[in-house]
Amino acid sequence: MNMTQEMLEILIGKYLDGEITPSEQHILQTELDCNPKAKELLEQLQDLHERSCQAVASEIIERGKDTGEIFEQAWQRQAANPLHRVLKMNGWLRFAAGLAAGLIIGLMLHFVLPLISTTQSLDVPANIVAKNANNRMDAEQQTYPQPLINPAGNSLRNVDWYSFTDNQGNQWLVEGLRENTVRPAVYYGDL
Amino acid sequence: MTTERRQNESALVCAAQRSDKEALQRLLTRNWPWLKGLVYSILGDADQVDDVLQDICVRVITKIDSLREPERFRPWLAVLARRMALRHRQRNARRPGLLSEEIAELQPDEKAQQLFEKIEQKEQCRRILQAVRLLPEKYRQVFMLAYAGDLTYANIAEVLDIPVTTVQIRLVRARRMVYDRVSGKKEVRCVRNEYDTGNA
pLDDT, greater one: B168 or B197:
B168
Are A84 and A78 spatial neighbours (Cβ–Cβ below 8 Å)? yes
CB contact under 8 A, B36 and A44: no
Radius of gyration of chain A (CA): 48
Residue (of B177, B188, B171) closest to A42 by Cα position: B188
Whether B191 and A37 have beta carbons less than 8 Å apart is answered as yes
Range of A19-28, A82-91, B119-128 with top mean pLDDT: A19-28
The whole-angstrom distance between residue B26's C-alpha and the CA centroid of its chain comes to 21
Report the pLDDT value the prediction gives residue A100, as an integer from 0 to 100: 93
Torsion sign over Cα B85, B87, B93, B98: positive
pLDDT above 90 for B139: yes
Region A77-105: mean pLDDT is 77
The shortest C-alpha distance from A26 to chain B (Å) reads 19
Please say if the pLDDT value at position A85 is more than 80.
no
Mean per-residue pLDDT for B76-83?
A: 91
Considering only A56-60, B19-23, B192-196, which range has the smallest mean pLDDT? Answer: B192-196
Is B124 close to A51, i.e. CB distance below 8 A? yes
Region B156-161: mean pLDDT is 90
As for the ipTM of the complex, it is 0.70
Q: How many angstroms away from the CA of A12 is the closest CA of chain B?
A: 9
Q: What is the pLDDT of residue B166?
A: 93
Q: Are B188 and A44 contacting, i.e. CB atoms less than 8 angstroms apart?
A: yes
Region A40-51: mean pLDDT is 89
- Judge whether residue B66 has pLDDT over 80: yes
Q: What distance in Å separates the CA atoms of residue B114 and residue B128, rounded to the nearest whole number?
A: 17
What is residue B149's three-state secondary structure? coil
Q: How far is A105 from chain B (nearest CA, A)?
A: 28
Question: Cβ contact (<8 Å) for B199 and A63?
Answer: no
Q: Look at B15 and A1; give whichever has higher pLDDT.
A: B15
Alpha-helix residue ranges (DSSP H) falling in chain A: 5-17, 22-34, 36-56, 67-80, 82-87, 91-122, 128-131
Which one of B62, B148, B196 has the shortest CB-CB distance to A84? B62
Closest alpha carbon to B37 in B119, B137, B143: B143
Convert the pLDDT of each residue in B109-118 to its tens digit. 555 555 555 5
Three-state SS annotation for A141-181: HCCCCCCCCCCCCCCCCCEEEEEEECCCCCEEEEEEECCCC
- Which of A79-93, B28-42, B108-122 comes out lowest in average pLDDT? B108-122
Per-residue DSSP letter, A66: -
Q: How confident is the model at residue A145 (pLDDT cuts 50, 70, 90)?
A: low
Across residues A111-124, what is the average pLDDT? 67
